[in-house]
Amino acid sequence: MQIFDRYVTRNYLRFCLLTAVAFIGMFTFMDLLARVDDIPLSRAAVGLTTSEIIHYYLINMVFLLFQFLPYILLIAGIGCVTQLLRKREWTPMLSAGRPTWRSFAPIFICALIIATSVSMFREAVIPQLLPQHESIQRKLNNHREWRPTDLWVRGEGARRLHAQIFTPGEPAHIAGLEVFSSSKFGNDTRVWADSAKYVDGTWQLQGGIETNSKGETAIDVFDADGFSPADLLRSYFVRNRPLDLNSESYANLLKYDPGHRQAETYMWSARTLPFVALVLLVLGLSTSINLGRVSSKEGVARGLLLCALFFVAELLFRDMGVRGAISPWLAAIAPVSLFAGVSLWAFSRTPS
């Protein structure tokens, strides 16, 4: 790596850090101000502690990073290159005949590494952080404990579980459990119980009854294959916070429900996240940096507008994928491919 490349890399990483701190700090402060009245109410209603509040905002910062990473990388890139242009540090490289894309290469490589690392980190921590975030957020928003209601979960084969009230924790608990299983041979089965507690991979039933073609039988234990607490949580988040799940969660959902188009579409979208950040960076830099054609303010505005249009296109394609108008994988890949082409075309028109 040449001296200029190392210099650009250091500057870009510095701008990434400053932009991330600014974004996360600003939205955290705004959220804290919005909850000034909610926090005392939650303390009185559900005993919300100071440690839980701190824990919530630490987790929320991680979610803000996941949400705003493409913008952070883009604004950091614009800031880095603008500074180099203002100080005329870019001129010697361009005068020496170095192509513009080669001068930008350290920024693109750093952005791809950061986006890939954050995406991998997201895949690893989402299953643990999402329930914790939702639990404290419900206390703050609704001033009561988080207990999902009216959950439907599809298990292996044709089995369906309905939980009237689900309480996560150790052990997890269900109040009002019903399980339906149908067979093409007419051997339909139904299990219901007043309550159930998850112990050692099975649901321990209270007042459990199983009915089938042979009659009615009292049961104390129910097999949890496909109906574990993790499966119930996944069912809740698919319905309430689908964009916050990782691709592994969608893959597990598709294991028992292969026709779930929303899960398949969002799974493919989650896998394209690193490329989204890179495409937006290339698109933003190629249209926003003033290398002699337009003013820098006009260029930055145009770059941010194109990035906003990307997210509009992503929403439209994703909606078509969920509705079945196009294939789920195409719904995820099409906007990235389309704007990748636009960004490469725009970058090719950048003066060398």
The 10s digit of each residue's pLDDT in 255-287 is 888 888 888 899 998 888 888 888 888 887 777
- Over range 318-346, report the average pLDDT: 87
Number of domains in the chain: 3
300 and 349 share one domain: yes
Query: Coil, strand, or helix at residue 137?
Result: helix
Ranking 98-102, 106-110, 124-128, 239-243 by mean pLDDT, the lowest is: 98-102
pLDDT at residue 24, as a whole number: 94
6 and 133 share one domain: yes
180 and 60 share one domain: no
Residue 61 forms part of a structural domain = yes
189 and 330 share one domain: no
Residue 32 forms part of a structural domain = yes
pLDDT at residue 120, as a whole number: 93
207 and 275 share one domain: no
49 and 174 share one domain: no
d(CA 342, CA 180): 51
Residue 158 forms part of a structural domain = yes
Residue 251 forms part of a structural domain = no
Reading the block at residue 247, the tokens are 């691709």
CA atoms within 13 A on the CB side of 231: 22
17 and 98 share one domain: yes
Name the pTM for this structure.
Answer: 0.85
- Over range 34-53, report the average pLDDT: 89
Residue 35, domain extent: 1-146
42 and 113 share one domain: yes
274 and 154 share one domain: no
Question: Which one has a higher pLDDT value, 199 or 158?
Answer: 199
Give me the DSSP letters along 318-343. Answer: HHHHHHTSS-HHHHHHHHHHHHHHHH
123 and 198 share one domain: no
Reading the block at residue 179, the tokens are 């399980």
pLDDT band for position 294 (50/70/90)?
very low
pLDDT band for position 94 (50/70/90)?
low
274 Rama class: left (phi>0) / alpha (psi -120 to 50) / beta:
alpha
Query: Coil, strand, or helix at residue 153?
Result: strand
Residue 247 forms part of a structural domain = no
Helix, strand, coil % over all residues of the chain, rounded to 5: 65, 15, 20
